Structure 1
């Protein structure tokens, strides 16, 4: 599948909560979670090298509609309900139109 919609998000956790934030973000890849959806073709979680309480997520989806539909589901809402209390402010989002690239882990 091809990503036609994407974004990056920067999330800053409350001091000392970065490890928990990253663990929760990575649960988005478990079976039944948003990142495991066939419509999610890119889901990359990383952390700031200079601030362990800052995490970055890059997502690529088959369409914006697919993203919104999946994130309206129970699994996504459950993860977000755990993440929200860790964040003292709203995440910063940047939209993307994926054109190509490479990922290897």
Structure 2
């Protein structure tokens, strides 16, 4: 079974990017408890004052889908909704390996 990766951008309401980053870093901490989540990286760009980028690597797509229904994930989504202006899934990826990614 192939690994599953996502690269996405979440746009914060103007002036709320730092708060959104804080929430997404809380999400990253919660992912530390999930063995199926290999990587959850939150980044910002110095040329995009409202964008927050998230790169995720999962053991499989089903594990990612299951994580969306966890109570902790639902709570974080509810915290983020009021300051989200939109989301873009930049790409769905098939991670092949590299530092931080465990291959079979």
TM-score range, shorter chain: 0.7 to 0.9
Question: Does residue 1:92 correspond to 2:88, yes or no?
Answer: yes
Runs of 4+ more than 6 Å apart? none
Question: Does residue 1:5 correspond to 2:8, yes or no?
Answer: no
Report the counterpart of residue 18 of structure 1 in structure 2: 17
Question: Does residue 1:47 correspond to 2:44, yes or no?
Answer: yes
TM-score normalised per structure 1: 0.86
How far off is 1:36 after superposition?
A: 3.3
TM-score normalised per structure 2: 0.86
How far off is 1:35 after superposition?
A: 4.8
The runs of 5 or more residues in structure 2 that have no matched partner are none
Q: How does 1:73-92 map to 2 (within 5 A)?
A: 73-89=70-86, 91-92=87-88
Aligned length in residues:
99
Relative to its length, the structure with more strand (as a share) is 2
